Amino acid sequence: MRCGEGRNQRRLVELPQDREQRSRERRTAALTALVELLHTGSIVVDDVEDDAPMRRGRPAVHAVGFLDDLGPTGLYLP
């Protein structure tokens, strides 16, 4: 074995582990985004049902007219 060859072999062992780690991170990020989207949708539906004009000190989404063209789209969320 020549000098430095061991370093390259270690790199080949580490690469699949790095790929698996990145894959897990991507799946976690996608799941986190999905949960956030569903939660935001449920908040919008709640505000519409309660006819709440404000959400955390800011105008609610339906109160500023963003939902006028959508109708009850959020009601189809599971």
The pTM score is 0.59
pLDDT of residue 4: 53
Q: Indicate the number of domains in the chain.
A: 1
Is a pLDDT exceeding 60 seen at residue 5? no
pLDDT of residue 29: 94
Per-residue DSSP letter, 66 = T
Helix (H, G, I), strand (E, B) or coil at 59: strand
What is the token pair recorded at 74?
A: 């959020």
Range of the domain at 14: 5-76
* Segment 24-37, tens digit of pLDDT: 999 999 999 999 98
Contact 75, 47 (CB under 8 A): no
